[in-house]
Amino acid sequence: MTTREYKADLHVHSSHSNKPTYWALRKFKCPESFTTPQYIYDTARAAGMDHVAITDHNTITGALEIAHLPGVIIGAELTSYFPADGCKVHVVTLGLTESVFQDLSQLRRNIFELVPYLHQKRIPHFLAHPLYAQNDKLTADHIEKLLLLFRVFEVQNGARAQRFNGFTERLIDSLTPARIAQLADRHNLEPIGDQPWLKGKVGGSDDHSGLFIGRTCTVAQRGETPAEFLSAVFNRETTPSGEHGDPLTLAHSLYGIAYRFYREQLTPRTNRSTPFVNALLSKMFDSGRTMTIRERILFLLRKNLPELFERRAGASFEEVLDREARLLLSDSGFLDRIGPETRNRKIFAITSHLANRLIYHYTDKLTRLSLSSGIFNLFQSLSTIGLVHLLISPYYLAYHHQYRGKELMDELDDRLNLGGASRRREKIALFTDTLDEINGVAITIRRLIATARTRGVELTVITSSPKATGLADGVMNFQSLGDFVLPEYPEIRLHFPPVLDVIDYVEREGFTAIHVSTPGTAGLLGLMTAKLMDIPVAGTYHTDIPQYVRDLTNDEMLEKAAWNYMIWFYGQLGEVMVPSASTRRQLVEQGLPEEKTRPLPRWVDVNAYTPAKRDPEFWRRYGVGDEPKLLYVGRVSREKNLELLADAFLRLVECGVHARLVIVGDGPYREAMEERLAGCPVLFTGYLEGEALQACYASADLFVFPSTTDTFGNVVLEAQASGLPVIVSDEGGPQELMISGETGLIVRDIDRDGLAGAMLTMLRDPELMRTMGSNARTFAEHGASLTGDAYSTILRQPSAKAANF
């Protein structure tokens, strides 16, 4: 025989909760809720609630409006205080009369007076959302005292994430007679009630918008009448039921309140100017409202004949927003895809889609502006992008809000020996702007993925590119909103990730650490996400971007701006992994705090890159002879100092030196370099990888890497592991990856004659090249044996203490 269960959502707010917590609502004089008591009653009943409670903040006016209806519970959520420091807590009280409420209103200023009175008078009550700091004063001491004062706790709050609700339940389940006695002694406070280690559990939606009434509730085995149900609450005979909250619940509650405020405050004329926005908002937040015949006719005309209503150029923000809403409402494929989703996910999908489209529209407009367009046009475009982010700020607020209290949970975990109940398993998200390209950063990340997999570390690389969104081989790619090339600098390509989708993914996956590998749009989003969710964040300084900016633009002001951004960006991180001592010195000189830096040792696979892969037939396949080969591997671009390499090689040719320059790679300077060296013994192979690249290294004779901007230089290690002597500049990280005079040469104050002289020195002494090549191989093998755990620096939680270089 099935036992009858009785349900009630014991935490619901009506329009009489009119003193909002959030600054923005107070600023615009917007109430905390627009939901009428009658709507709450009807919705709760429709959701299967046997009894209906209204628990407005410090008032019972809303509950009294429906007190004549069957099954109504008159309640209030009282704000009470710890008298010593003013710490706020919320106490939900139930089964009230007007006279009892008046008494409680006098007592609520002191939690130590309020709760004993409630217990003495047998007034059902519970501590709402116990871990939520109302005014940022809540500490572990307060929680311990509350464990002594309260017999019933809200362990399932429909606006709070499961990790907080779950921790609250584990916390009260951990109580024993001995622990209660310990707490009572520690705080000199007598616990209230019999068997105070046994706590009652309730649940409530904490709904403010009318969207989630009854989604979370309290269940009792007895409760045919409100009085019987409340008796079960008081006697700790109830259980929570339903759904936990998440950031979307809070965000959509704020949107729901704002929508109703918008409808009440704006004139009919303003409403008519954006019919498709209104239709979307109504679809998401006001399913009970229907259009008038006039509104429907105008809506259909605008939808099917948009050219009659839209301006051709100079559209306002409202017009652009309404156009995008019209396109979305007409996109049956998109609407079908989100059809099976829950209400929260549908609203999120629609909002994110619109935000992505608007950000793309205005960012595209911004990137099309030339530097001569004027400061007004630039500011206008930036401010409009800022307006889009303001419109989706409820999500930012909600994600941040849901992560408040992590430190409090950790402290309680340690104090009460809960066995790590507050801590999730380690899971790392690495953000990067480059992955598919062939460069040192991408190579390092690919190797990091493989290392993490072999060590059982949960690592997901998050990036954004034009490819479809999806997870594969440890990489989560988000299809970019758009890929923009700056008009004056086609070298610089920016991919813009879908902001809300990425933040939502990080939250749902529960990452415990974030590592940013690049300071571009993806890296910036990684930093923003970490700050929003209070996730430890570290990063790696791979590329000397200010130097690249100088080489590309020859503009000192832009170089300075780049340095300001880089120091700001990396200054936000807990740790910065730096691949070389020279790079570290440069960052510190520019203003990065030295204590943030940490060495990032990297090496090379000496089994893959080895002299054993030398192939006598390799060059014949390219139709070239047996002359000595001077090898360069990397991106073919000016910032790699390849103009200097071309000039230096021309100098060798003029001197009658018998040698061939081999350029492996591709890039924007290739065509110009080919023209510059036309008629010279030069081979451009394009990109090589795998066995072909390894054989190319081993079959060459000398490696030349003139770059002054590289912070590390994987290729210098690969060349030495392959048995090649190397020639590098005295600027940047590569000089630290070799031994000058033993495994190669460092060119001081590198210029054409200096580089040509170094190459000539080596080419004229084959024995020197062989000796240095052998030394280079030994050096690479020795370094590999010392840094076999190189990637462990990234594959761990960031710490506050940096190591020495």
In order of start, what are the domains of the chain with their CATH numbers? 6-245 (3.20.20.140), 251-391 (no CATH), 425-599 (3.40.50.2000), 611-786 (3.40.50.2000)
Pick from 797, 799, 794: which is nearest to 452 by CA? 794
CA 88 to chain centre: 31
Structural tokens at position 330: 């007409």
Residues 6+ apart with CB under 8 A from 78: 58, 90, 91, 92, 93, 104, 105, 108, 114
Cα torsion 340, 344, 350, 353: sign: negative
| pLDDT the model gives residue 804 | 43
Question: What is the model's pLDDT at position 384?
Answer: 80
What pLDDT digit, counting tens, does each position of 165-210 carry? 999 999 999 999 999 999 999 999 999 999 999 999 999 999 998 9
3-state secondary structure of 472: strand
Sign of the dihedral through C-alpha 439, 442, 447, 450: negative
Rounded CA separation 318/387 (Å): 11
pLDDT computed for residue 275 by the predictor? 65
Encoded tokens for 577: 């992994």
For residue 517, is it left (φ>0), alpha (ψ between -120 and 50) or beta?
A: alpha
The pTM assigned to this predicted structure is: 0.79
Distance CA 168, CA 409 (A): 9
Q: Give the C-alpha separation, 508 to 344, whole Å.
A: 14
Do 746 and 582 touch, CB atoms closer than 8 A? no
Q: How are strands ordered across the β-sheet holding 537-540?
A: 470-472, 475-479, 459-465, 428-431, 513-516, 537-540, 575-578, 597-599
**pLDDT for residue 386:** 83
Within 10 A of 333 (CB to CB), how many other CB atoms are there?
A: 6
Q: Tell me the residue type at 241.
A: S
Give the list of residues 6+ apart from residue 374 with CB closer than 8 angstroms, or none.
none
DSSP letter at 408 equals: H
Distance from C-alpha of 615 to C-alpha of 692, rounded to nearest angstrom: 10
Report the amino acid identity of residue 294.
R
Tokens encoding 519: 């300071």
Handedness of CA 183, 185, 187, 192 (dihedral sign): positive
CB 580 within 8 A of CB 597: no
| 58-116 confidence digits (pLDDT tens) | 999 999 999 999 999 999 999 999 999 999 999 999 999 999 999 999 999 999 999 99
Tokens of 53: 């409670």
Helical ranges in 66-193 per DSSP H:
98-107, 111-120, 140-149, 162-173, 177-187
Nearest of 562, 555, 563, 603 to residue 586 by alpha carbon: 563
Q: Residue count of the chain, please give it.
A: 805
Cα–Cα distance, 620 to 602 (Å, whole number) = 34
Predicted confidence at residue 305, as pLDDT, reads 47
Which residue stretches of the chain have pLDDT < 50? Answer: 267, 269, 291, 294-295, 297-303, 305, 307-309, 312-313, 488, 788, 799-805
Name beta bridge partners: 207: 12
Alpha carbons 546 and 556: distance in angstroms, whole number: 10
